[in-house]
Amino acid sequence: MSDVLVVSEHRRGELRDVSYEAITAGRELADARDGDLHVAVVGGDVGRFAEDLNRQGVDAVHAVSNGEEFDHNVYQSAVGALLEGTGAEAVVIPNSVNGLDYAPAVAEAHGYPLVTDAIGFEYDDGLTVTREMYGSKVETTVDVTGDQFVLTVRGGEWAPAEGVGDATVEPVEVDHPESGARVTGFEEVGGGDVDIADADVLVSVGRGIEEEENLELVEDLADALGATLSASRPIVDNGWLPKNRQVGQSGKVVTPDVYIAIGISGAVQHVAGMKGSDTIVAVNTDPNAPIFDIADYGIVGDLFDVVPELIDEFA
């Protein structure tokens, strides 16, 4: 028997959805290991968070009352203290920007193997994790030696835990070293004239467009369709379009009626921002591009051939 510790995530007063998904993954692991499921919430309004995290299947919520916002030193210390206090030997952490700011350090500090960005797992004699490689073109199974580990789980892969549990809520305060990384504030980026989240139809352009000059082509298509232009990250990184046009994990989440992805591979961080679109169309030269896995209509072809023809259709 061996317990599992899930560390929840919150930002600016809200628990993030992936926290509840991590609980589901953690419960599966705890069942397989015949152990209890502990959930930690670190900082902020821990009383309220603890109540929300008390979902079915949670045995204990540890409300660590240090600080307000994310601080990796506090998280690392909290996890260390809870591993010692609970005897848990498996840690589940969201595979988020903040998760990746402390999960590797936790694994390192405790000498636990680390597997990140899990999309599934099986647990028989030990843990076998399913994860992607090569830009989502393949999946792999990874065997982990031993039964201690840190696992980070991708958002949207497990159903959120529901219901109300009968967990005990344990208030905790941890000692932690003075932080050598101090958060001084937050900044919202990507504001401005257009909000791509309002558009009914998006023509979205990716690195397949190759050159800034070629953007005119997709602008013409957007005009012809009465659509709004959006983009994948590299287009914005290159400064070809402003940040408020970026779709994805670090840009905007959009749910238009129609999303037309042109020369976009469909990386997980991009898909996170558009998979909720009603109809997804993809134009890509690579038949194995992962964007086709979530598309409703696909054209395997060269955008420089297809897009001009499509503009003509609507001219």
Ligand X SMILES: Cc1cc2nc3c(=O)[nH]c(=O)nc-3n(C[C@H](O)[C@H](O)[C@H](O)COP(=O)(O)OP(=O)(O)OC[C@H]3O[C@@H](n4cnc5c(N)ncnc54)[C@H](O)[C@@H]3O)c2cc1C
Interface positions with ligand X (CB under 6 A): 97, 206-208, 232-234, 246-251, 263-265, 267, 269-270, 273, 283-286, 289, 302-304
- Write the CA distances from 238 to 159, 187, 189, 207, 220, integer angstroms: 36, 21, 16, 10, 20
CB of residue 244 vs ligand X: minimum separation in angstroms?
12
Say if residues 147 and 89 touch (Cβ distance below 8 Å). yes
Closest to another protein by CB, 57 or 208: 208
Q: 11 contacts which partner out of ligand X, another protein, none, CB within 5 to 8 A by kind?
A: another protein
CB of residue 167 vs another protein: minimum separation in angstroms?
27
| Encoded tokens for 160 | 């959120």
CB of residue 298 vs ligand X: minimum separation in angstroms?
11
Say if residues 249 and 273 touch (Cβ distance below 8 Å). yes
Closest to ligand X by CB, 42 or 271: 271
Determine the distance from the C-alpha atom of residue 100 to the mean position of all C-alpha atoms in its chain, rounded to a whole number: 11
Closest to ligand X by CB, 64 or 289: 289
SS3 101: helix
CB of residue 18 vs ligand X: minimum separation in angstroms?
14
Give the residue from 300, 259, 299 showing the smallest Cα distance to 279.
259
SS3 72: helix
Closest to ligand X by CB, 86 or 204: 204
Say if residues 28 and 127 touch (Cβ distance below 8 Å). no
Q: 133 contacts which partner out of another protein, ligand X, none, CB within 5 to 8 A by kind?
A: another protein
CB of residue 165 vs another protein: minimum separation in angstroms?
27
Q: 232 contacts which partner out of ligand X, another protein, none, CB within 5 to 8 A by kind?
A: ligand X
Q: 35 contacts which partner out of another protein, ligand X, none, CB within 5 to 8 A by kind?
A: none
Q: 96 contacts which partner out of ligand X, another protein, none, CB within 5 to 8 A by kind?
A: another protein
Give dist(CA 19, CA 26) in Å, integer.
Answer: 10
Closest to another protein by CB, 175 or 187: 187
Q: 228 contacts which partner out of another protein, ligand X, none, CB within 5 to 8 A by kind?
A: none
CA R_g for the chain: 22
Give dist(CA 304, CA 140) in Å, integer.
Answer: 34
Nearest residue relative to ligand X (C-beta): 248
SS (H, E, C) 232-243: CHHHHHCCCCCH
CB of residue 291 vs ligand X: minimum separation in angstroms?
7
What DSSP element (H or E) covers 132? strand 127-133
Q: 61 contacts which partner out of ligand X, another protein, none, CB within 5 to 8 A by kind?
A: none
